[in-house]
Structure 1
């Protein structure tokens, strides 16, 4: 009946789908703040939440902050809501918000109150609800069609390291007075009083180093994690290595824009697919050849592994302590962590955890989105791994213990 509010279940379902799209767009690198998301939800509510064109333009006008976000938005929208015709102009005629009854399929014909001949797109909820469910599915349990959809969503990811202040300064509206620019402004005005020019410390993202486990136990997740690494490698300060029985640097192979070409190049370059795991020895090799020389200094180092170690766990523990002293932050993403009743009882995982700042899941799209937020240093609430943040670490028995300081800034 017109004039009645929609059912709460349908309203919550629609909001969950739209929030999932906003999270996917944020994972792609767009600056989708909470204010923008709130405005997006209000705009969709004022239009027709079940119509593709209305959702597209509502998000494009509220969630994009600059020109760079437009290309990301189109890519994420196509991956999240499925392919379809993108409207060339926004719909002009609005529907009052209280006329929306529930999420249902819109009629295929022209709108009664809209321009003649304008066709409505497929219903947003039915297209995106499966994607929202897919975001939380374990990658190892997906079929071929679902894996292809996950690959499209992973291609829209972006990964940036936590920002840090540099020694360089840039002009700013607030900050300390810039004497050189202020004096130049006075001279330009012939000595007349002028506004004080100010500057502030510039920021740049920290380097991100990804160590992806491609051993046999990680085979169900290797493709998705490497595609996540491919999206991350589009940044200028990201390095990617594979670990198994050998350490292989694959940053150059992942530089291809096409994900499939990048995966083919990685397959040719990596000689130890589905082999054993020598985490301690390979971590030592990484630190000796690259990390100690500067690659890991002040960086965010992410290990994507289940923690199964064929070598000496004491060696792994010693190298993790060494890594922790060099890196700004050490993050471990374990796909097995999401399984019911999981405990870090594997010798390698238990040995590494005291030197880990954030222990997160890595089994699904939602888990990888959370991982990207952790790498960015965003405040994402309580860490699902319970590691207690950068000042505490989880010991082998699951308790938290304070960590000694002394790491590089």
Structure 2
């Protein structure tokens, strides 16, 4: 589809110029994209269709990446280059000098590498700034872009050891299997069998505060809960999601919908107390009486998303947090104000809960959500 010189006049389809600019951006990022790989990429996308973003993404990984080291760079450049929601390029209206995706110039013999590198740096830095922005202060357009970036979070479920053993290539000697193998050989020595304790995903419980003081963070937090749920299902794990405010609402069924937009619509139809008051102690007691004490929270990692503004009795919250801490594996409290300059935990709810928390971390940006995912996976 392109000649050796990669000129615009040799392109067969209008979309080839878009894809060719993407391959130049990959080269600028350090991926060894050759002419043969470029030809293969363009041919694959022509077959699958440029309007299918998922197919374009997979075609690029299959044709442009030569090894595992290229995959991470590929993902970063793809995320910086494309809008994850609708497949369109990311433009920067405030800086018209940085060309949009459809305005990429054809490469010439001199200076193309420098121009591509500038475009990649501009787009990548724009995405990185968005990752660290306070989600409550974002414009609707920025929230729309951020929604697509949740797919980049690596949310691995925490693992726990089981009572059963499984065959393994090292560990402790499996005397029973070794003896049976020897008997099958009429008493002749057999190869030693090894075993180890089995592992399985640990349950994760998410309690999301949807009161009035948390209204600016409710949508991103539910998107995060959806991402945790879908990632856990891929590994055979379980994530239970509840909203807390003036009452407790079970949202796990809504979060299991694969499409995040449909999941949030279902959640909006289920939760009756959006932007209401905050009775953390009462809702936590109801959760423990009906769900947690009976087994859902036992041995689980419980993550509470709240700013700690408690309208009820703080002593009740402290009592229920102590009760929760006794039956779970780990309690993580995520406060959206924790990472802001000058913040001090002076709210009555936070002061009551902190003695019974294992981790107290920030939760106001995509970068802090990525850190939370690491904390949960290591729990």
TM-score (norm 1): 0.67
| Equivalent residues in 2 for 1:168-247, closer than 5 Å | 168-234=164-230, 235=232, 236-247=237-248
How has the CA–CA distance of structure 1 residues 43 and 253 changed in structure 2, closer, same or farther, with 3 Å as cutoff?
same
SS in 1 for 2:179: helix
SS in 1 for 2:67: helix
Instruction: Name the structure where helix makes up a greater proportion of residues.
Output: 2
Unaligned runs of 5+ residues in structure 2 are 1-25, 42-56, 88-97, 111-115
Structure 1 distance, partners of 2:145, 2:154, is 17
- Measured after TM superposition, the shift of residue 317 of structure 1 is 0.5
| Equivalent residues in 2 for 1:21-60, closer than 5 Å | 45=30, 47=32
Aligned to 2:130: 134
Structure 2 distance, partners of 1:165, 1:43, is 44
Structure 2 distance, partners of 1:134, 1:361, is 16
SS in 2 for 1:336: coil
How has the CA–CA distance of structure 1 residues 129 and 237 changed in structure 2, closer, same or farther, with 3 Å as cutoff?
same
SS in 1 for 2:197: strand
- Measured after TM superposition, the shift of residue 168 of structure 1 is 1.5
Aligned to 1:323: 324
Aligned to 1:124: 120
Structure 1 distance, partners of 2:371, 2:180, is 47
Task: Tell me if the contact between 2:31 and 2:65 (Cα under 8 Å) persists in the aligned partners.
Answer: no
Structure 2 distance, partners of 1:237, 1:330, is 17
Structure 1 distance, partners of 2:117, 2:261, is 30
Unaligned runs of 5+ residues in structure 1 are 1-40, 65-69, 87-103, 114-119, 379-409
Alignment of 1:309 onto 2:310 = yes
Task: Tell me if the contact between 1:214 and 1:273 (Cα under 8 Å) persists in the aligned partners.
Answer: yes
How has the CA–CA distance of structure 1 residues 60 and 47 changed in structure 2, closer, same or farther, with 3 Å as cutoff?
closer
How has the CA–CA distance of structure 1 residues 121 and 261 changed in structure 2, closer, same or farther, with 3 Å as cutoff?
farther
Structure 2 distance, partners of 1:276, 1:328, is 29
Aligned to 1:282: 283
How has the CA–CA distance of structure 1 residues 158 and 271 changed in structure 2, closer, same or farther, with 3 Å as cutoff?
farther
SS in 2 for 1:291: helix
Aligned to 1:341: 342
Aligned to 2:351: 350
- Measured after TM superposition, the shift of residue 159 of structure 1 is 3.0
Task: Tell me if the contact between 1:79 and 1:149 (Cα under 8 Å) persists in the aligned partners.
Answer: no
SS in 1 for 2:170: coil
Alignment of 1:291 onto 2:257 = no
Structure 2 distance, partners of 1:360, 1:159, is 16
Aligned to 1:167: 163
Segment drifting more, 269-278 vs 122-131? 122-131
Task: Tell me if the contact between 2:31 and 2:73 (Cα under 8 Å) persists in the aligned partners.
Answer: no
* Structure (1 or 2) with the larger CA radius of gyration: 2
CA deviation digits over 1:45-89, x for unaligned, max 9?
4748xxx9899657773259xxxxx9x9988765444259x9xxx
Coordinate RMSD, CA, aligned: 3.5
CA deviation digits over 1:296-344, x for unaligned, max 9?
1111100001000010000000101111111111000000112221111
Structure 2 distance, partners of 1:323, 1:61, is 46
Structure 2 distance, partners of 1:238, 1:341, is 33
Task: Tell me if the contact between 1:155 and 1:228 (Cα under 8 Å) persists in the aligned partners.
Answer: no
SS in 1 for 2:200: strand
Task: Tell me if the contact between 2:171 and 2:195 (Cα under 8 Å) persists in the aligned partners.
Answer: yes
TM-score (norm 2): 0.72
CA deviation digits over 1:97-140, x for unaligned, max 9?
xxxxxxx9998446869xxxxxx899432322211111111001
How has the CA–CA distance of structure 1 residues 162 and 121 changed in structure 2, closer, same or farther, with 3 Å as cutoff?
same
Task: Tell me if the contact between 1:82 and 1:127 (Cα under 8 Å) persists in the aligned partners.
Answer: no
Matched residue count? 305
Alignment of 1:82 onto 2:82 = yes
Task: Tell me if the contact between 1:170 and 1:202 (Cα under 8 Å) persists in the aligned partners.
Answer: yes
Aligned to 1:251: 252
Structure 2 distance, partners of 1:83, 1:190, is 66
Structure 1 distance, partners of 2:77, 2:362, is 25
Aligned to 1:62: 68
